[in-house]
Amino acid sequence: MGGEYIYGIFSTVWYVILCEIFTETFVGKSVRKKWNYIWIVIWCILNYGITIILKKQLFLKSLIVILIGSIVLYLYFKQDYIKMLVLACLYQGCNFVVDYTVLNLMIKIFPTLIQQTLSETLIASMLGLVSQVIIFCFVMALRKFFLKEWGEVLSSKDWMYFSIFPFFTIISITLIVMNFEIIQNRKQGNVLLCIALGLVVMNLLVFYLIRGILEREKQIQEDKLFKARVENETKMYHSISENYDKQCKREHEYKNQLSCIVALTREGKIQELSRYIEKFDQEINNKINSIDTNNVIVNAILNSKYQETRRKNILFIVKINDLSELHIEDEDIVVILSNLLNNAIEACEQCEKKYIKLKFIQNEKETIISVANSHNNNFRMQDGKYQTSKVVVGEKHGIGIENIKETVEKYKGDCVIRHNDKEFCFSILIKNEESNYIK
């Protein structure tokens, strides 16, 4: 009797966990919040209660289990309810098919074994465990084909090693079932059932171990790409700042050129004057920096984006002051300012009315960075995060708003996002306290 209750609780929890993994394969991971796990616990309790109450009403029990599962999946993953209902039905259908197939195979292979009275319940539990391990293998196969990190990061050799354990579990439980006739009492049967349960649990633990390793590996690769991009952009802006210094040194050359223009004008040499002006006109338009904040990196970023907005016919409105005492590291300035302006420019490209308003002010108490831009509803919310609707091929698009927030948090700053039908605004406030500056 004790083994029956143990198996009932275990099979309910196993069903719920595998259903969550099955759904995650198709819709992606949910946002990890503490109350999300409460839904899983409630799901397990409800499923177990329904299983006990409607034990002999298979169809009604299955229907209620599907409805409860679809509702909890909807609350857990925050996805379309119809999609959750379909996935819950598919998973329940997989369980029916596998259970039916395993039971019929065992009856054909061991026709007399199922008729034993002493171990009837234990044998049913063992067959249920075999079915659950097979379903686990099916879900893992789906992850290999539908999830990029599982299909690409894990090689065929890795998958072969991974498949050894569930295969060993199925063989072991089958051998236990084959030798049930030598069991002398129910206590021995319960011990064997607990051993089988332990083998099944080990499969799940191996899965979570591999998933954790893959997540850490993915995060490490993203961090490397992120740091490499920031370093490259920082070097680029340092190069731009060097060009700015060179341009400052050439100011006296422009004065000489103006003197030459004045001389040609006085002498009435119109054709020579026209050729001379055309020669330097393009260079002046493309290379002269127009923004000076007394900060090398900020100057490089703003002047670079200013030239880009001119080429793309975007109105760029800037309000700045002296940033010579800015207490933000160069790499972090690149992450914040460059990414915000890149996002703003991309949004403006899809608008009829194109404008960007930048406010970058520092005083004794605080630093304020605000970027507002016109948009054409080219973003959406997913899992509480802003996602671009722009189709991107290859690597993940942009550094991302979340990385900007993380960088601001480094300085104990705050971020505020506001938007309406016409304008999107990202504002940052960082207190200029010595304790907030982290090297």
Give the integer Cα–Cα distance in Å for 41 and 72: 10
Calculate the dihedral angle through the C-alpha atoms of 244, 245, 247, 253, rounding to the nearest 10 degrees.
170
Which SS3 state, helix, strand or coil, does residue 373 take?
strand
pTM over 0.85: no
292-439 CATH = 3.30.565.10
pLDDT band at 397 (very low <50, low <70, confident <90, very high): very low
Phi and psi at residue 289, to the nearest 5°:
-80, 145
Residue 369 is predicted with a pLDDT of 92
Encode pLDDT of 75-115 as tens digits: 888 888 999 999 999 999 998 998 888 888 877 776 665 55
Residue 427 is predicted with a pLDDT of 92
Residue 421 is predicted with a pLDDT of 82
Residue 220 is predicted with a pLDDT of 78
Which SS3 state, helix, strand or coil, does residue 381 take?
strand
**What integer is the mean pLDDT of 211-232?**
73
Q: Is the dihedral of CA 169, 172, 174, 176 positive or negative?
A: negative
Higher pLDDT, 235 or 166: 166
Helix or strand holding residue 426 (H, E) = strand 423-431
Give the integer Cα–Cα distance in Å for 174 and 182: 14
436 contacts: CB under 8 Å, gap ≥ 6 = 327, 411, 412, 413, 430
Phi and psi at residue 8, to the nearest 5°:
-60, -45
Encode pLDDT of 151-179 as tens digits: 666 777 777 878 888 888 888 888 877 77
Are the CB atoms for 371 and 425 separated by under 8 Å? yes
Give the integer Cα–Cα distance in Å for 8 and 111: 25
Q: Domain extents for the chain?
A: 2-225, 250-288, 292-439
Least confident segment among 138-152, 256-270, 378-392, 399-413 = 378-392
Exposed (0-12), middle (13-18) or buried (19+): which is 61, by Cβ within 10 Å?
middle
- Strand 366-374, strand 315-320: pairing: unpaired
Are the CB atoms for 339 and 363 separated by under 8 Å? no
For tokens 């503490």, the residue is: 34
List the one residue out of 11, 183, 55 whose CA is nearest residue 113: 183
Average pLDDT, the chain: 77
Least confident segment among 34-43, 261-270, 362-371, 426-435 = 261-270
* The token pair that represents 419 in the structure block: 């938007």
Q: What single letter denotes the amino acid at residue 3? A: G
Least confident segment among 128-132, 189-193, 241-245, 283-287 = 283-287
Helices 58-77 and 2-27: crossing angle, nearest 10°? 50
Give the integer Cα–Cα distance in Å for 147 and 149: 6
